[in-house]
Amino acid sequence: MCGRFAQTTPSDELIRLFRLVSGLSAEPRYNIAPTQQAVMVRDSANGRMAQPCRWGLVPSWAPNLKRGASLINARSETVFTKPTFAALSRTQRCVIPSSGFYEWRQTPAGKLPTLFTPREEPILRLAGLWSTWADDAGTLTYTFTILTTEANRVMSPFHHRMPVLLSDNGADQWLKSSTTDPKALAPLLKPSAENALNLTPVSPRVNNVRNDDRQCWAPLITPE
């Protein structure tokens, strides 16, 4: 799964990488948790745009925003057929830019986090879906979920699932709103190459969602 991630890439670099049609101003985030705001990229009638979005997809028919806490991830194997996601997977796809994500391992010292960052690519492009939810006053809240797939051999010691990581070309295909056929999109939703990620054990400071600064990336120091 993917339960915590970071977005630290400068806004002007995201504009260049995703060829956004509008400006973007986003502060670096080192420890984004479910139900918090993050930046997602989607297609629009005028071109690609980025916007703040609440992590945890809330379907338009949900009675309240609490539904999102259980939908931070969606299984890519069923995303085109499961009623909650089927329509969105055809028309409301997005990419969540990420500079890294975390997984945990249980150790005698407790749960310790590992940071996964791109080895060669400038960023990770996480495949996602977005939706809008309106309250009784008609105020819209944009929400998203991150797609997951089977873990590759690098990820499997940490978790049996991993986020879907798209290539630059794959992100272009995923964001293209004119593509609606699952047969054209499903091949994109696969485990990443095993050499795509760097692994860094980091400080358990990440375990507390209130900690959101560069110190979250401090390499773990273990006693000699």
Judged against a pLDDT cut of 80, whether residue 223 lies above it is answered with: no
Q: Which whole number is the average pLDDT over 178-198? A: 94
Which candidate in 2, 53, 94, 216 is catalytic?
2
73 in a domain, yes or no?
yes
- The whole-angstrom separation of Cα 96 and Cα 125 is 6
- The answer to whether residue 94 is catalytic is no
| Least confident residue range of 68-72, 88-92, 100-104, 121-125 | 68-72
Mean pLDDT of the chain: 93
Which candidate in 77, 103, 150, 216 is catalytic?
103
pLDDT tens-digit map of 5-42: 999 999 999 999 999 998 788 899 999 999 999 999 99
Residue 21: other Cβ atoms inside 10 A: 12
pLDDT for 109:
77
pLDDT for 1:
67
111 in a domain, yes or no?
yes
Q: Which whole number is the average pLDDT over 170-179? A: 95
222 in a domain, yes or no?
no
pLDDT for 224:
45
Which CATH number is 10's domain given?
Answer: 3.90.1680.10
Q: Which whole number is the average pLDDT over 83-101? A: 96
Assigned token pair, 121: 């690519």
Provide the pLDDT confidence category of residue 220 given band limits of 50, 70 and 90.
confident
pLDDT tens-digit map of 120-171: 999 999 999 999 999 989 899 999 999 999 999 999 999 999 999 999 999 9
110 in a domain, yes or no?
yes
- The answer to whether residue 53 is catalytic is no
31 in a domain, yes or no?
yes
Based on the structure, what is the number of domains in the chain? 1
206 in a domain, yes or no?
yes
Range of the domain at 129: 5-217
224 in a domain, yes or no?
no
0.85 exceeded by the pTM?
yes
Nearest to 116 by CA among 145, 156, 155: 155
Concatenated DSSP letters of 57-71: ---TT-SSGGGGGG-
pLDDT for 2:
84
pLDDT for 93:
98
